[in-house]
Amino acid sequence: METIALNVIPRGVNYCAHASLNDNGRVFRAELFEDSEKYYLTGSERLRVRYRRPDKVISSFAVVNTGSNYVDIEIPSDLTARAGLIYCKLRINSIACKAFYIDVEDKPEV
């Protein structure tokens, strides 16, 4: 499983996870930080990822709250319907974390 670091304060590096065109159910882990300290969820927060595909489609999906310092993000098939760099933000309740990307690779021509 791929792992990225995700700052709950919207500053710093935008990390990138990877998927393939039409993937459904691929999972990657986002380890949560507040600057350089681990950030722990209480288990009661509402978590959603909002994303924008290269074709300008905007949508969101729920993320299971682990009650820990990470979340496992399961990528839905709609997100991987187009190849390219997908702009994403994890929202914890009403607060948006630092943006991250999901790079969806195209399938080879056969």
110 in a structural domain: no
Query: What would the two tokens of residue 27 be?
Result: 């999972």
Q: Does 60 map to a domain?
A: yes
pTM of the model: 0.90
**CATH classification at residue 69:** 2.60.40.3350
- Give the model's pLDDT for residue 57: 94
Residues 6+ apart with CB under 8 A from 37: none
Structure-token pair, residue 62: 């729920």
> Which residues span the domain enclosing 10?
2-105
Residue 80 lies in a domain: yes
Return the pLDDT at 107: 77
The answer to whether position 88 is within a domain reads: yes
pLDDT of residue 108: 66
**Distance between CA atoms of 13 and 36, rounded to whole angstroms?**
12
Q: How many domains does the chain have?
A: 1
Query: Which residues of the chain fall below pLDDT 70?
Result: 108-110
Residue 80 corresponds to which tokens in the numbers above? Answer: 């991987």
Domain-located, residue 37: yes
Domain membership of residue 9 (yes or no) is yes
The pLDDT value recorded for residue 12 is 87
- 59: in domain: yes
| pLDDT value of residue 72 | 97
